[in-house]
Amino acid sequence: MVGPTPQPQGIPVTPEQAEQVEPENWAIHGQATNVWLLQPAFRSPYQGPQSLSPATNGRETVDATLYAGVRPWPGAEIWINPEVDQGFGLSDTFGAAGYPSGEAFKVGKADPYFLVQRGFLRQTVNLGGETEKLEPDLNQLGGTQTANRLVFTIGKYSVVDIFDTNKYAHDPRNDFFNWSIIDQGAFDYAANSWGFTYGGAAEWVQDWWTVRAGVFDLSLKPNSDKLSPGFAQGQFVAELEERHSLWDQPGKLKLLYWLTRGNLGTYIDAIALGAATGQTPSTGAVRSFRTKDGFGLNLEQQLATDFGVFARASLSQGTVEEVDFTDINKSISAGLSLTGARWGRPDDTVGLAGAINRISHQGKLYLAAGGLGGIIGDGQLPNAGPEQILETYYNVALLDFAHFTADYQFINHPAYNRDRGPVSVFGLRLHLQF
């Protein structure tokens, strides 16, 4: 749902080279991204209040971000990211659990509006090992760090800035579009309607492994544009990362666990109340303080300097409603990424990926009774099935600072409904960055 901020990745250098690196004390960067989506008409015998519209549908989103950073003392960076957003997702960001645009927020507006999406302090404590050079980047000052280090990040940012990152599928401004491909589909991470929250994280990077953990604020209520005051509701996230070499090519494997404590409803309680009152079930009517948790695996593997593959698998508790991401309880995804070096276009990238998403049995019963999830709800669900997604894109480097992408997505059984679809979504993206 958000363009992630890069995590500091260094290039090993000799001690002599390290001495020649002048650390940046401040920096200003910027980006602007424009995404156009077109969804042709598709088969739909019925639709509900949160369905993907079966009529031909075109939408556009625009965002522009300023990245301003300073180094107040050695090892520290303070960044602020003011942003202007405008536009709508297809069907106002409803209708598919694996939603087709990571640049579409849960809040759509016709007029441009201003927000400060990130404002955080990052402190790096070097612990020794090989010296690495850091190139200037978005939310990253140029300088050096050691291979072994502690990193602390506190403030406002996105949980997926730090957790569940993947070099091949994690950035809707540069690679894939679909929510369940750029992130673990069942990772119900804490966020407001734009994908950001307040919190703190600590990372211990050592040799071939990293351990990271963080605590974050939940939204005031599921999918709200406001965050819970005073951390009255929260989420704990932990991740173990293993780095390896396979056929002399680098790879990473990550194991993620998260636990949420908040004011949430269960599907079964909502169905029972609806049956007793003769009303459409709503998880909002049966909320109390509950726990929801989940697991995930994340693999990235380079197979050649211009070619890599990735895969994710995730599982979340299926009795409790979706909180802040999307209505998925089980998800697997996999894909590949190839640069254009083989045909003389080294800065171009082509990607191909697929995802299969599922909702729990209780979730199906709730949707079948007319209940609404976070972003799906066809009013009925007589023939449920897994949501199946295929996506491919080609990213063309027009200039050093300008990239243009053509994207296609095929969504079978949108919102787990065999009666509707399949759906095709065509996308174009222009991304500028300095």
Q: What is the pLDDT of residues 336-380, one digit of tens each?
A: 999 999 999 999 999 999 999 999 999 999 999 999 999 999 999
| Secondary structure (3-state) at 276 | helix
Residue 283: pLDDT above 90? yes
Query: What is the rounded distance in angstroms from the CA atom of residue 232 to the CA atom of residue 220?
Result: 9
Q: SS in 3 state form for 315-381? A: EECCCECCCCCCCCCEEEEEEEEEEEHHHCEEEEEEEEEEEEEECCHHHHHHHHCCCCCCCCECCCC
| Secondary structure (3-state) at 156 | strand
Residue 9: pLDDT above 70? no
Tokens of 14: 């000799």
Residue boundaries of the structural domains of the chain: 11-433
Residue 24: pLDDT above 90? yes
pLDDT at 18: 61
Say which CATH class 11-433 falls into.
mainly beta
Residue 430: pLDDT above 60? yes
Which 8-state DSSP code applies to residue 102? T
DSSP-derived pairing of the beta strands 57-70 and 26-39: antiparallel
How many beta carbons lie within 10 A of that of residue 14, not counting itself?
A: 10
Going by C-beta distance under 8 Å and a sequence separation of 6 or more, which residues neighbour residue 380? 46, 48, 367, 368, 370
pLDDT at 145: 95
Strand ranges in 160-269 using DSSP code E only, listed in sequence order: 197-206, 209-217, 234-246, 249-264
* Average of per-residue pLDDT values in the chain: 96
Mean pLDDT for the stretch of residues 11-40: 86
Tokens of 8: 């500091």
Q: What is the pLDDT of residues 313-337, one digit of tens each?
A: 999 999 999 999 999 999 999 999 9
Lowest mean pLDDT among 14-23, 211-220, 237-246, 386-395: 14-23
pLDDT at 380: 97
Query: What is the rounded distance in angstroms from the CA atom of residue 208 to the CA atom of residue 185?
Result: 27
Q: What counts of helices (H) and strands (E) characterise the chain?
A: 4, 17
pLDDT-derived band of residue 11, with 50, 70 and 90 as boundaries?
confident
Is the sign of the CA dihedral 8, 169, 256, 104 positive or negative?
positive
% helix / strand / coil in the chain, to the nearest 5?
10, 55, 35
Query: What is the rounded distance in angstroms from the CA atom of residue 300 to the CA atom of residue 297?
Result: 10
pLDDT at 22: 82
Residues of the chain above pLDDT 70, percent: 96
pTM: 0.94
Query: What is the rounded distance in angstroms from the CA atom of residue 366 to the CA atom of residue 389?
Result: 23
Mean pLDDT for the stretch of residues 153-166: 98
Residue 15: pLDDT above 80? no
Per DSSP, what are the bridge partners of residue 194? none
Residue 1: pLDDT above 60? no
Q: What is the pLDDT of residues 230-254, one digit of tens each?
A: 899 999 999 999 999 999 999 999 9
The string of DSSP letters for 12-35 reads E--HHHHHTPPPPSEEEEEEEEEE
Going by C-beta distance under 8 Å and a sequence separation of 6 or more, which residues neighbour residue 278? none
pLDDT at 19: 64
Q: What is the pLDDT of residues 41-96, one digit of tens each?
A: 999 999 999 999 999 999 999 999 999 999 999 999 999 999 999 999 999 999 99
Q: What is the pLDDT of residues 103-144, one digit of tens each?
A: 999 999 999 999 999 999 999 999 999 999 999 999 999 999
